[in-house]
Amino acid sequence: MKNVCVITGGGSGMGLSVAKLLEKDIYIILAGRTVSKLEGAVEELKAMGKEVEAYPCDVSDRESVKALAAHAAGVGNVKMVCHAAGVSPTMCDAAAVFAVDCLGTVNVNEEFAAVMGEKSCVLNISSSAPVMLPRANVPRNLYPLADKDPDAFVKNMMITVNLGGPDFASGMAYSLAKDFVIWYTKTEAMKYGRKGIRFVSVGPGTILTDMGKAEAADGDMAMQLAMMGALGRAGEPEEVAELMVFLLSDKASYITGVDIPCDGGSQTGFQRLNEVGFGDPDAFRPISAIKQIGIITDDLEKTKAAFEKYGIVGWMDVQVTVGEQFFENAICYDKPQMFSVKSTTTSMLGIELELVEPMDEHSDYAAFLKKNGGPGIHHLSVETNDIGAVEALGKQVVVGAKIKGAPFGYKYFDFQDELGLILEYFPYVYNK
Ligand SMILES: NC(=O)c1ccc[n+]([C@@H]2O[C@H](COP(=O)([O-])OP(=O)(O)OC[C@H]3O[C@@H](n4cnc5c(N)ncnc54)[C@H](OP(=O)(O)O)[C@@H]3O)[C@@H](O)[C@H]2O)c1
């Protein structure tokens, strides 16, 4: 039985580059909307000695994809699906981006999962574009609708992108659509892993296909992202296709449920620039990361149970920290003061939540409870690139302690006058 590789969007760009690199014993089906383009690609591949045919398909149309999957299963064992069909913001409006890039991915992944089996792989193409999305604006809660109610999915996603104004709608839609592809690939990997089907996505940076060139020419955002990357250049389709062919093959048999960037370091470059606020990388940054939200409570077990009721679980065992046993150099309000607390944390949501219950009246934790009239957010735990410079700001240390036997502990500085916040620095390294 023939092993078949279906390549959606195979008439051009990265899809066609994958077809050129595939082993000759794999039967290739190129799918896309423009028949003349597919036929040109078939001729080119046949001249290279490949077994290949064209099959017209619009991935945004479920019936069209169903027919493609049935046809491919009739030809042989559908071992590989390279889903490279997609549109970009310069080509169409936001609704079309969602219809092709999101619903097209659902249609292709689901219809092919129904005809694929052991040792097969579906490869989706994401992008480095989602790295630029403000995380708070990413409506991942809407993503499951794409399977259950596609019309409601597009309608709600459109409401989200229109909030940013018409100038940004299709660009925002593209970044969200590719974030969806990353999420959906992981969802499908979990759904079909036990059936032996792997699902992976590859996230290209700016790649000089027809689509990539059009994006790079329009407002230049795509090219700016490429230039921010470690390599400082756009990529060629073959540079991504090599990775895609590897991932599709049995050589990648243990890789599934992940997005693998192939972007000349564009995502890394963008993240690095963000870490320094697009400014001087060596400038003093009193807050370079936010790691934890600290909540003070007068009844840790009760507050923990309340969080669990609202879906925040995964709390660590409660730690009882008796000051005399654990701390040295304990201070409150810049003066020596021993104190004891109970605490627990969970990292379930990506940012740590900490619950602290004071066990005596001696610390700022106890004073906070009194002042606040009950539990509440007390501090943010943050990182800085220069703790000495933070210290030199002269803010009052409301709580601090060195951990016995360790060179470090923590200090909470009072930034309430300027930020309305207490900032915790942990680990705070004690030099003396
Ligand atoms: N190039 C980049 O810089 C870049 C960066 C990140 C991600 N990507 C993604 O990589 C994928 C491949 O893009 P590419 O750069 O190789 O561009 P491309 O050459 O334009 O390839 C896209 C292909 O998708 C097909 N297609 C579009 N809509 C379709 C639909 N509804 N049904 C079936 N086929 C459809 C197109 O053919 P027809 O129009 O004839 O159907 C075309 O052959 C896309 O998902 C793109 O978003 C590209």
Query: Do 165 and 266 share a domain, yes or no?
Result: yes
Query: Do 221 and 296 share a domain, yes or no?
Result: no
Supply angle C-alpha 117, 123, 126, rounded to 5.
150
Report the chain's terminal Cα–Cα distance, integer Å: 73
| Residues 6+ positions from 90 with CB-CB distance below 8 Å | 214, 215, 218
CA of 26 to the centre of ligand 1 (A): 22
Is the CB of residue 11 below 6 angstroms from any atom belonging to ligand 1? Answer: yes
Determine the Cα–Cα distance for residues 360 and 320; give it in Å rounded to an integer. Answer: 12
Q: How many domains does the chain have?
A: 2
Query: Do 46 and 181 share a domain, yes or no?
Result: yes
Cis upstream peptide for 427 (omega within 30°): yes
Query: Do 271 and 293 share a domain, yes or no?
Result: no
Nearest to 205 by CA among 217, 223, 180: 223
Residue by residue, pLDDT tens for the chain (432 residues) are 999 999 999 999 999 999 999 999 999 999 999 999 999 999 999 999 999 999 999 999 999 999 999 999 999 999 999 999 999 988 899 999 999 999 999 999 999 999 999 999 999 999 999 999 988 889 999 999 999 999 999 999 999 999 877 778 888 999 999 999 999 999 999 999 999 999 999 999 999 999 998 888 766 788 999 999 999 999 999 999 999 999 999 999 999 999 999 999 999 999 999 888 888 888 999 999 999 999 999 999 999 999 999 999 999 999 999 999 999 999 999 999 999 999 999 998 888 999 999 999 999 999 999 999 999 999 999 999 999 999 999 999 999 999 999 999 999 999 999 999 999 999 999 875
Is the CB of residue 262 below 6 angstroms from any atom belonging to ligand 1? Answer: no
Domain stop point among 221, 242, 275: 275
Domain stop point among 240, 275, 310: 275
Determine the Cα–Cα distance for residues 400 and 14; give it in Å rounded to an integer. Answer: 56
Domain stop point among 248, 275, 302: 275
Q: 284 in helix, strand or coil?
A: coil
Residue 137 falls within a domain, yes or no?
yes
| Pairing between β-strand 327-332 and β-strand 335-336 as defined by DSSP bridges | antiparallel
Give the structural domain span for 147. Answer: 3-275
Nearest to 355 by CA among 306, 295, 399, 315: 295
Query: Do 335 and 245 share a domain, yes or no?
Result: no
Looking at residue 409, its amino acid is: G
Query: Do 21 and 100 share a domain, yes or no?
Result: yes
Gyration radius (Cα) of the chain, Å: 27
Is the CB of residue 263 below 6 angstroms from any atom belonging to ligand 1? Answer: no
CATH of the domain at 421: 3.10.180.10
Query: Do 132 and 188 share a domain, yes or no?
Result: yes
192, 113 in Cβ contact below 8 A? yes
CATH of the domain at 101: 3.40.50.720
Q: Which of 6, 8, 14, 62 to mutate to test the pocket of ligand 1 (most atoms within 8 A of CB)?
A: 14
pTM of the model: 0.92
Query: Do 316 and 215 share a domain, yes or no?
Result: no
Query: Do 200 and 62 share a domain, yes or no?
Result: yes
Residue 281 falls within a domain, yes or no?
no
pLDDT at 271: 93
Query: Do 220 and 144 share a domain, yes or no?
Result: yes
- Choose, from 27, 55, 143, 174, the residue flagged as catalytic: 174
Is the CB of residue 358 below 6 angstroms from any atom belonging to ligand 1? Answer: no
Query: Do 190 and 308 share a domain, yes or no?
Result: no
Query: Do 233 and 152 share a domain, yes or no?
Result: yes
125, 204 in Cβ contact below 8 A? yes
Residue 282 falls within a domain, yes or no?
no
pLDDT at 277: 81
